[in-house]
Each structure stands twice: as structure tokens, then as C-alpha cells.
Structure 1
Amino acid sequence: MTAVINIRLEMPLSTSVTDRALDLPPPYNLIPLREAGDAFAHACSITDDHGAGTLVWVRRYDLVEFAVILEPEEPLAEARRAIYAGANALADALSVHAPPERPVTFDWPDAIRIDGVLVGGCRLGWPDGVPEHAVPPWLVFSGMIRAVALRTAEPGARPFNGALEEVGFETVDAGEIVASFARHLMHWFHEWNEAGFTPLARHWLERLPRKKGQRIRIADNGDLLLFRAADLQPVERRNLRAALSKPSWLDPATGVPWL
């Protein structure tokens, strides 16, 4: 996949510390939103006027929330694998700040856990009505990670859902994590372009827990293929398009990760 990143400048909303611009690589164009914003919905709504590299960031201290517009050059069925590139980038950014004994892992296809605790995940959007064999005019990758748990039960009452502050992150700077994600995303798209999808898929699969004797592969269209150790044919195929239609980690009642 090639994401041609157009350079376009946006006026910052203010110059306060809270509203500061992120330390993003030059190709990105930052659009900051107030705390009540929805990064994924906003990014999808502005694709007619803003191109690849537009990064929408919601300035909240309790969530790391952002979305980035991509312009693929592959048919939708293959371009949808961008979910794996984005997830790699977000997990790599989190790993920089996570304690060494707290591994970052995935639930297929979109959830992110730290030491087994669900902290959030990612989403991928594309235009309605685009055939699988056609190149979509845009994709939107979005991430949301719970940084702080507000007004909720103690962690012991919800051992598998939590926030970064509860899994050993000494400090959580949402802007720093988003900026780190942006740099890692550039790396993974470069890797995809130069070496193909296989290294990217391998890196993603390293973070996916599996049963003993089970082999897992990502198909050319992003579906997850599960094999028994000695089998040549998969025993199960999980459909990526269907799975992405409803984020597994997102509580529809609150619009934030399950807690």
C-alpha cells in the first residue's frame, strides 16, 4: 500500500499547553478537536476536503484518541489490511512507554491489551458502496486507548478491562503517544512498500496469543486463517470485513472502550 501524504497546514486552535501542536513528522497535517469530539467520525466526514496524512486528534487526558486519513493504491479487499499496519504502529508506540514486564497484545482483529487487560483498540473506515475490487478514494484508521479510568469500580472488580495508569504506565502523555504512533505508521507503510505485507503480518501475529499447536496466517484480503499444526488447509477462516463492522472493544453505549 502506498499512502501519498499531502502536506497541508492547519491553524492551531490556541497556543496553550493543552492545545499545543503535536510533534509530528512533516508529512502530517494536524486537526485538533475539543474534548467532546469524535476523531473517527470527524476524519470520515472531512475526506472530501482533506487528503492522506490528515491526523485528527481529540485532546482528552483520559483517552488517547486519534484518526488518520489514508489514500490507498490497492483494491479495497487488499487495502483493508491497513488495519494491521495501524495496529502495529499503535502497539509499538504503547510499548515504548509500557513497563517491560507488561506485554502489548492483540485480540483479532482490533482490540489491544496490555498484560491481558483490555485498554482499547482500533477501527478502519472506508466509503460506502465501494466494490471489493475497486480502489477506495480513502480509508480512515482510528485508535482509542483508555489512559485514565474515571468514576468506576476498582481494578480488582474488572481484572480484564482497564486503563494505562492501572497497568503500570508511570505517566501518560496522550500527545506523545499519538506522535509516536504517527512515526511508527510511516515505518510500517514503508516496510509494506519495500518488503511486501509478510513482515508486517509477522510482526502483528507475534502479538496475537494462540493455542498450543495452532498456526495462524493473514490472508491476502486480511482474513485470519487458523491451522492445526500438521494441516495444510485452514480449519477456520475469520472474515475481516465482517469483523470490522462492529468494533469488539468499543462500548456502543458510552462510545469508549469497555470498562
Structure 2
Amino acid sequence: MTSAPHFPPLFEGLGLTGAADPFAKAQLQATMGCDAGLVVYNIAADQMRAAIVFAPEVPLEAAMPVMICCAIGFQNALGALAPPEVGVHLDWTGGIYVNGASCGRMQVAASTDDPSAEPDWLVVGLELPLLPIDPNTPGNTPNQTCLFEEGCVDIPPEDLLSAWVRHTLVWINRMEDAGMKPLNEEWRGLAKNLGEEVSFSLAGNTHSGLFVGVDEHFGMLLRDGDDTRLIPLSTLLQGDT
């Protein structure tokens, strides 16, 4: 790493090295009572991992759209730094797609999995591959990519991390000031498979149907025949809460 990332006021960085997992470390720090705005990160030669600690003041289900703010924030950040031909789309389950191929993911964890309870903390994590899984055999995984393979080799990962936090803050402020409408409008233009048949597994359950949209808290609306089911965004919570 050539330089430390720079974060907006009220955000503080905690850099890790080696195999240390920022997503797990952020949850530990949050459990120990750290301030909201802690950004834990680990930038290696082949990948960038980071996580942001939030302290929602609303019930869990109403707090979950913070994950959407983080996802859109990443798309905006990479869009501002990458060549114009680089396209970024967001999967509802947290996957990030660059030029149509899988390129990292968002994760989310909270102190509770009760949708009606106000969490003490909520952590959103980012994992982003910078180099190919196997540099000696490019093309062996056509459905997976990395920033290097998509023409983003000149983007310093520290700058991308800084931009992610800045753009995420912009969308959190917009959500708080203007409600969900601007967030929803931005997200719909970036959402992968919206309006298409989807099938995926969460917590051992397989969900299939027509992805018709989201509710006011970005829960997935999945239509199967005449039946429309809601999959709450909190279903994506990771780990033991």
C-alpha cells in the first residue's frame, strides 16, 4: 500500500495486514462498543477488503437499506475512477458485477436478527478482487473477473476505498434527507436481473421466481405464478447474531 486512505469527518480507519478479515474485525470492534464510522480495511496485492460500522437508530428492517447505500456508493466510486466503458451492476444478494462478470460482494451483519428490534450496530463489508484467481490461466473462469482484467489496473485501491466511503456517506445523507425514493431510483438502474427470472439460495433455502421489485425497505418481491413473496433484506445477514 503506497498511502493511507482518507475518510470524511466522523469516519476513522483501522488498517489490518496479513490474513486478518476486516468484516469479522469490524463486528468485534462494534461488539466492544466502538464508535460508528469505523472503517476497517485490509488492502493486499490481490484483493481489497473493508467494512464500515454503523449505529442505526431505527429497527433492523428499516436500517437494512444502509447496505444498499454502500452498494450504490461502491458503484458510484468505481464509476468515477474507472474507464468509461466499465459497467458495474449490483445483485440483490450482495454480489458485485463488473462488465457482466462476478467481481466481489457486499456483506452485512448486525447485533440482532429481529426485524423489529433496534440493532446496537450494523456492519457492511466489501470484498473486491484486484488480481485474477490464477494469473497463469486467464479465461478459465469467464463468469468471474477482477479489476485488473477490466482495465482498472491504474486505480490505487486506497483511492477506491476512500471514494467508496465518501459516496456511501452521500447516499446515506440523501436517504435521511429525502427518504427512499432517490435511493430506489438509483438502485433500479443498477440492479442485476430486475424483471427477470432468478433462482438463488439463502440460509439453506432456495428462492425462485420473477424478480419484480422491492418493498419500502428493499426486501425482494418475488413472483411465482399468482403468488408474490417478500424476502426481507435482513435475510442477507451473515453470522451469528
Count how many residue pairs are aligned between Structure 1 and Structure 2: 225
1:226 deviation in Å?
A: 4.4
User: After superposition, where does 1:22-171 map in structure 2 within 5 Å?
Assistant: 22-47=5-30, 48-128=32-112, 131-152=114-135, 154-171=137-154
Partner of 1:237: 230
1:99 deviation in Å?
A: 2.3
Change beyond 3 A, Cα 1:44–1:215? closer
Partner of 2:166: 183
Counterparts of 1:187 and 1:142 in 2: how far apart (Å)? 18
Change beyond 3 A, Cα 1:205–1:227? farther
> Structure 1 or 2: larger strand share?
2
Q: Is the 8 A contact 1:110 1:244 kept in 2?
A: no
Partner of 1:251: none
SS where residue 155 of structure 1 aligns?
Answer: coil
Counterparts of 1:44 and 1:126 in 2: how far apart (Å)? 8
Question: Which amino acid in structure 1 is aligned with residue 156 of structure 2?
Answer: D
Change beyond 3 A, Cα 1:134–1:115? same
1:138 deviation in Å?
A: 0.6
Change beyond 3 A, Cα 1:103–1:203? same
Counterparts of 1:242 and 1:107 in 2: how far apart (Å)? 14
Q: Is the 8 A contact 1:39 1:65 kept in 2?
A: yes
Change beyond 3 A, Cα 1:215–1:113? closer
Question: Which amino acid in structure 1 is aligned with residue 234 of structure 2?
Answer: R
1:50 deviation in Å?
A: 1.1
SS where residue 71 of structure 2 aligns?
Answer: helix
CA deviation map 1:167-193 (0-9, x unaligned): 121413111111001110110011001
Mind listing any 5+ residue stretches in structure 1 that lack a counterpart?
1-17, 247-259
Counterparts of 2:229 and 2:63 in 1: how far apart (Å)? 22
Question: In percent, how many aligned pairs have the same letter?
Answer: 24
CA deviation map 1:119-144 (0-9, x unaligned): 1010111014x532121111001101
Change beyond 3 A, Cα 1:61–1:193? same
Change beyond 3 A, Cα 1:195–1:175? same
Question: Which amino acid in structure 2 is aligned with residue 217 of structure 1?
Answer: G
Q: Is the 8 A contact 2:211 2:223 kept in 1?
A: yes
